[in-house]
């Protein structure tokens, strides 16, 4: 069986401010897309796994221990943007989605 990966265009890279996020609907899934200071992009689930609100795109982007993180705006738990792991509560995690920039357009695989 062959699996086809479908990349979905979300926005232009220039539409995302560095160290900020934006919410997008990709394949019926709410995704938080982040542009890092070096123009790399990351995508994780927009739903805060501890509080149930779709707010992760509004989180604070930074680093902790050399890892890129987003801090939930709800109660300030930090999530690793590469693994989705919560650095403050090992029982919580965000889903992580493949993200890339192609020809200046941010694309994500989710769903």
Q: Provide the residue count of the chain.
A: 111
The angle at the Cα of 11, spanning 26 to 56, to the nearest 5 degrees, equals 60
The pTM for the full model equals: 0.93
At 92, list the tokens: 């919580």
Distance CA 29, CA 19 (A): 22
Residue 93 β-bridge partners: 85
Domain 14-99 CATH superfamily: Rieske [2Fe-2S] iron-sulphur domain (2.102.10.10)
pLDDT in tens, the chain (111 residues): 667 889 999 999 999 999 999 999 999 999 999 999 999 999 999 999 999 999 999 999 999 999 999 999 999 999 999 999 999 999 999 999 999 999 999 999 986
Q: What is the DSSP string of 13-77?
A: GGGSPTTEEEEEEETTEEEEEEE-TTS-EEEEESB-TTT--B-GGGSEEEEETTEEEEE-TTT--
């Amino acid at each position: 069986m062959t699996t086809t990966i479908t990349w979905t265009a979300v926005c232009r890279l220039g539409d995302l401010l560095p160290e900020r996020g934006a919410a997008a609907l990709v394949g019926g899934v709410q995704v938080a897309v982040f542009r890092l200071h070096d123009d790399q992009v990351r995508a994780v689930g927009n739903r805060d796994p501890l509080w149930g609100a779709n707010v992760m795109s509004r989180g604070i982007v930074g680093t902790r221990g050399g890892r890129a993180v987003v801090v939930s705006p709800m109660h300030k738990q930090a999530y690793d943007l590469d693994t989705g792991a919560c650095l403050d509560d090992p029982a919580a995690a965000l889903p992580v989605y493949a993200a890339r920039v192609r020809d200046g357009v941010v694309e994500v695989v989710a769903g």
